[in-house]
Structure 1
C-alpha cells in the first residue's frame, strides 16, 4: 500500500533492505494468519536458494528488534503478526517489492483502492472529482455512471446523456462491448426522469443532554466498532440511551447514514430506510446487496429474536443491538452488560434531574433513594422529574411515600406507574414459577436467593428451581453471584414486595 514504511510517533523507522521489507509486507498482508517458513519464502523469493531459510530467520529477528509493537510470534515453524494497516494512497502499492506474489497483490490492492475511491465518489457525487477519475480510468463504467447521475442531479441532463454516448462509442471501439447494466440503467432513468438523489437515512434518536456515566462501556464499544456491539441489561437500565449516545459519537465514521430500527421485521425496515419499498424474496440477502460497499450505522433496539438480525451484518457497516437477553447464538458480537449506574454517577444523574441545590440539601436521603431504585437511570429520571415538579417536597417525603405505596392494594398511582413501567413489562413475560420465586424472596426482603432454600420454599425439584433462577438471571431480574446463589436487586425487591402485598391485602 504504497512503499512499505513505518513510524513511531513522528519519527520514521528504518526497515532495512528490500528483502527484509518484503518479509514484513508478506506478514502484514496476511495479518493474523500463521505463515510457514516455506510460504514466506515462496512469497518473497521467486527462485529461492538454500540460504533463504537462514536469511528469513535473520530478517524476522531484525523485524522483531525494530518493531516490538508488532508482537511477531513464532509457532510451529511459522510466524504471525497482528497489526492495524493503513493505506495512505500514495504511490504504487508495495512499491519496490518484486516477486510473483507481490505482483498479484499489487493488482488486488490497486483494484481495492479504486473501488474504495469510487465508493467515496458515490457518496459525494462531486462532478469535478468524477470527471478527473473518469479521465484517468476511461474504461471503468461505474464512475461514468456516477458522473452521469451527478450531472443530471445538477440539472445538466444533456451533458449526462452525452457522456453515455461517449462511453458507448469508447467501449465499442476499445473492447467491442456495449455499455453494461449500470450505465444502461442510469441512462434509462435519465430518459424517464425518475433519477432521484441517493437516500441518506438520518434516523438516530436525539442524544440526551443529561446523559451520565457509562464511560467504560462506551470505550469498549468504540474499540469494537465497526464490529457488532450488543448491549444487554434489565428493562430501565438505559440500553437504548447508551446505544444512542454511542451512535452519535461515531456517526461521522458512517457517511452513508444511520438507521434506527425497533424490533419487528428488521430486514424489511432496513430496506425501507434505503428506499426499497415492499421488498420480496430473501430480504436479508437484498439488504446485504444494497449495503455492499457502503458504511451504515444500524441500531436495532429491543431485539427479541436472534434470527431477526443474524444475517444482516455487512463489511464496513456497524450494528449496535440492544436486548434484554444476551443472544449467545449470534456470532461475532461484543456484548456489554449494563445495570445500575455507579454510586457517584447515580447521585450526579439525580442532581441533574432533580436540581443540584435541593439534592445537595439532603445528601443522605438522596443516597438512600438512588440505592432503593438500584441506581437505574430510568427510575431515577422519573422520581427526579416528579420531585422537581413539586417544589415543596423533600427527598424524605418521597421516601415515605414510596414506603406507604409498597403496602397499598393493586392500584398504582400514575406517577409511580411510570417509574415501575420497566418491571411491569418484565413481569408480563414471566412464567408462574418465576413470578412465585421473586415474590417469595421479595416478601422476606431477602437480598440473596439460595437455590436450595428456593427449592424448599417452592416444593420444586432443585434441578427445576435452578432452571427458573437461571431464566430470571437471563433477563437481569436477579444477578448471579456464585453457583446456586443470586442477588435480588433492591428495586426488584421493592416492586415484587409491593405486588405480594397487593395480592395478600
Structure 2
C-alpha cells in the first residue's frame, strides 16, 4: 500500500473551481450547497480546527436559520458518510474529528488543490533565482490547478471575499509567469496573454507594465507607448491620479530607446529580460541553448515524462545555487527503485547554465558485485575531461591529484549509486557534487542529505498517466488505483507497469491489475526488458552480513506488517539489542522502513509489500537450492544472473 491511512491516500479535494471531492478515484456526492460550504470552510484551513461559530458565520452570515449548530453537526455527518463510508461517528472519524473547539479537516495538504497551488507558486518564486524555465513550469502547474472561480456557485459574503482574495493570488501568479516568459524571450506570446488579462482588469497597472515591455521587446515601440497613454487616460478619468513610478520608468526607457534591463516580480525580485536582438529562448526549457554552451555535458538525456518531486528538485537546485566558499555536496538517498538517479539527472540538467565548465556523470555501481574503484573513477573522469595521461602509469594518489587539478570550480559531477562514504570520499574534488546512494552517507562532511520516499498517490497517478495516457487511466480509475496500490508508489515499479501496458495496448487496466493482485506473480509481472524490481532489490544483498541476510528472510517469512526490536528478537531468537543492530543494518540499506508515531515510545519497523514478496521468494529459492554463504558479504541469491552488472539505483 502507498499508505494505509484514509487521509493520505484515497481522497482529493478541489475548491479552485466548484467544490468537489474524490475518494478512490471516484467523485463523491457532497450533498446540498450548505454542506459543501461547510467542507469549503474547513478546506481553507486544512489541519486547523475551526470553531462552530466560525463555520456558522462562513456558511450563513447574518441569515441564521434555527439551530445552526445542529445543522453544522448534520452537515459534518453527511460529509463523513460521503468521505468515510466506514466511519459515521465523531469518535471514530479520522478525517473530520469533533473536539472542544469545533471541527477540523485532518487531510494531507497535498490532497487539497489550494494548498498545492500555494506550495507550487512558492517553488516558482524560489526557482526564479535559479532556473527561469523550471520556475515557469511551476507557475504553469499552479495556474493549471484552477477549474473556474473559487468555490463555484457558493454564495454569501464570506465566500465572496475569499473568492476575491484567491482571484488576486491567481492574477499575481499569471503576472509572474508572464514576466518569466519575457525573460525567456516569449515576447509575442506574452503580449497576447497580457492583452486578454487587461480586458478584465483595465486598471491593473503591472499588467500594463508587462504589456508595454512585451511590445517594446517585440520591436513595437509605438504600440508600447500607446498602451501607456491609454492607461494614463483611463486612470486619470476614473480615479484622478497619475500612473505609479514603475510604469513611468518603463515609459521613459521606451521613449529614450533604452534597453529594458529588469522586470519586477510580485515579490520585488527582478529578472533580466531577453532583448530585442536576442535569439528567442526555448520557452518551457532551456535545453537547446544550454546544450550549445555546455560542450562538456555528459549527463545523458533527461527524462521527458519526469513526474512529481517538485519539493526535492527545488531544494537540490537551491543548494547547488547557494553562494559560498565550500562547494556543495548533495546526497540523494532512498530505497531501490525510488527514483534517485532520475532526480539527480533532472536537477543536474536544470542547473546546466550554472555550471558552464561541464557536467559529468559516473555510475559507481555501488550495489553490484563489481563496484567502481576510485582509481577507475579517476581514469573515467579524466578521460571525460580530456586529460587522462594515458601514456604514463600513475598511482591512485597521483590520479586523484591529476583529477583535482583538472576539475574547475564551475563544474558539476553526478556520482550515481554509491556504496558508502569510502567509495565517494576520494572523488570529492572541491567542485559541486550530486551523489545517489541507498545509504545516507552521513559520514561525508558538510553533505546535505535529501531523503526520497515513494510517491504520493496523486503523483503516482500522474506518472502512470503520462506513460500510458490519461485517457486510459481515466477510463478505468478503479483499476488504475489498484495498479498504484500494488506498485506502492515506487517509481521503478510504476515505470515497469506503464511500459508493460504500452507494450500491450490490448490489455485493459483491470486485466493487468488482476495480474498484479496475484501475490505469487506480482514481482514476475513487474519486469520489462532490462527493468525489474526483483533485480533492483537483489543488488542490495551483496552488502548484507550473513546474520542480517538471514534475519531479513526470517522477518519477511513471519508476516507481521510492523514489528519492534523486541518482536524481532523473538522472531530471530536473539536478545533485543542484537536484534536492533541487525534491523538497523537493514534500515541503512532501505530494506526495512522505520515507522513513527506508534504511540508506544518505541520505534517500529515495516517491510514494504514488494520487499516482503522479494524476500519470501529468495527464501523459497534458497531452500530449494541451499548453498554455503560467503564471508561478511552474506549469501548470494541468484536468479538468471540477477546480481550481475546491476545498474538500477
Match of 2:146 in 1: none
Note the C-alpha offset of 1:462.
Answer: 1.5
Check if 1:302 corresponds to 2:403: no
Quote the Cα distance in structure 2 between the aligned partners of 1:267 and 1:323.
Answer: 19
Check if 1:253 corresponds to 2:354: yes
Match of 1:390 in 2: 504
Secondary structure of the structure 1 residue equivalent to 2:314 = helix
Check if 1:451 corresponds to 2:565: yes
Q: Deviations over 1:456-479 (max 9, x none)?
A: 111122221111110111111112
Match of 2:445 in 1: 331
Among 545, 559, 568, the residue aligned to 1:431: 545
Q: Deviations over 1:216-269 (max 9, x none)?
A: 111111121151111111111111111100000001111111111111233332
Match of 2:339 in 1: 238
Secondary structure of the structure 1 residue equivalent to 2:418 = coil
Check if 1:491 corresponds to 2:620: no
Among 268, 283, 288, the residue aligned to 2:379: 268
Q: How does 1:361-372 map to 2 (within 5 A)?
A: 361-372=475-486
Q: Compared with structure 1, are the counterparts of its residues 392 and 243 closer, same or farther at alpha carbon in structure 2 (3 Å cutoff)? A: same
**Contact 2:496–2:527 (8 Å) recurs in 1:** no
Match of 2:516 in 1: 402
Highest Rg: 1 or 2? 1
- TM-score under structure 1 normalisation? 0.55
Match of 2:195 in 1: none
Quote the Cα distance in structure 1 between the aligned partners of 2:415 and 2:311.
Answer: 21
Q: Compared with structure 1, are the counterparts of its residues 362 and 499 closer, same or farther at alpha carbon in structure 2 (3 Å cutoff)? A: farther
**Contact 2:337–2:490 (8 Å) recurs in 1:** yes
Among 199, 202, 225, the residue aligned to 2:320: 225
Deviates more, 1:448-457 or 1:202-211: 448-457
Q: Compared with structure 1, are the counterparts of its residues 413 and 469 closer, same or farther at alpha carbon in structure 2 (3 Å cutoff)? A: closer
Quote the Cα distance in structure 2 between the aligned partners of 1:449 and 1:349.
Answer: 32
Note the C-alpha offset of 1:407.
Answer: 6.4
**Contact 1:300–1:319 (8 Å) recurs in 2:** yes
Mind listing any 5+ residue stretches in structure 2 that lack a counterpart?
Answer: 1-293, 322-327, 365-371, 597-601, 625-649
Among 389, 394, 403, the residue aligned to 1:287: 403
Quote the Cα distance in structure 2 between the aligned partners of 1:253 and 1:229.
Answer: 16
Q: Compared with structure 1, are the counterparts of its residues 500 and 369 closer, same or farther at alpha carbon in structure 2 (3 Å cutoff)? A: farther
**Contact 1:473–1:480 (8 Å) recurs in 2:** yes
**Contact 1:371–1:490 (8 Å) recurs in 2:** no
Q: Deviations over 1:377-400 (max 9, x none)?
A: 111111111122222322332233
Quote the Cα distance in structure 1 between the aligned partners of 2:594 and 2:360.
Answer: 35
**Contact 2:497–2:526 (8 Å) recurs in 1:** no
Note the C-alpha offset of 1:442.
Answer: 3.1
Quote the Cα distance in structure 1 between the aligned partners of 2:526 and 2:347.
Answer: 34
Check if 1:203 corresponds to 2:317: no
Mind listing any 5+ residue stretches in structure 1 that lack a counterpart?
Answer: 1-198
Q: How does 1:45-84 map to 2 (within 5 A)?
A: none
Q: Deviations over 1:123-171 (max 9, x none)?
A: xxxxxxxxxxxxxxxxxxxxxxxxxxxxxxxxxxxxxxxxxxxxxxxxx
CA RMSD of aligned residues (A): 2.8
**Contact 1:378–1:419 (8 Å) recurs in 2:** yes
Quote the Cα distance in structure 2 between the aligned partners of 1:486 and 1:252.
Answer: 43
Q: How does 1:113-192 map to 2 (within 5 A)?
A: none
Q: Compared with structure 1, are the counterparts of its residues 322 and 402 closer, same or farther at alpha carbon in structure 2 (3 Å cutoff)? A: same
- TM-score under structure 2 normalisation? 0.44
Q: Deviations over 1:354-390 (max 9, x none)?
A: 2222222222232232232221111111111112222
**Contact 2:526–2:533 (8 Å) recurs in 1:** no
Match of 1:216 in 2: 311
Among 563, 569, 581, the residue aligned to 1:467: 581
Q: Compared with structure 1, are the counterparts of its residues 272 and 342 closer, same or farther at alpha carbon in structure 2 (3 Å cutoff)? A: same
Quote the Cα distance in structure 2 between the aligned partners of 1:228 and 1:255.
Answer: 18
Q: Compared with structure 1, are the counterparts of its residues 504 and 309 closer, same or farther at alpha carbon in structure 2 (3 Å cutoff)? A: closer
Secondary structure of the structure 1 residue equivalent to 2:337 = coil
Q: Deviations over 1:186-243 (max 9, x none)?
A: xxxxxxxxxxxxx952201200100001111111111211511111111111111111
Quote the Cα distance in structure 2 between the aligned partners of 1:458 and 1:426.
Answer: 21
Quote the Cα distance in structure 2 between the aligned partners of 1:465 and 1:499.
Answer: 21
**Contact 2:493–2:526 (8 Å) recurs in 1:** no
Note the C-alpha offset of 1:413.
Answer: 8.9
**Contact 2:407–2:429 (8 Å) recurs in 1:** yes
Q: Compared with structure 1, are the counterparts of its residues 335 and 489 closer, same or farther at alpha carbon in structure 2 (3 Å cutoff)? A: same
Note the C-alpha offset of 1:485.
Answer: 1.3
**Contact 1:407–1:502 (8 Å) recurs in 2:** no
Quote the Cα distance in structure 2 between the aligned partners of 1:373 and 1:291.
Answer: 41
Quote the Cα distance in structure 1 between the aligned partners of 2:524 and 2:491.
Answer: 24
**Contact 2:379–2:399 (8 Å) recurs in 1:** yes
Secondary structure of the structure 2 residue equivalent to 1:420 = helix
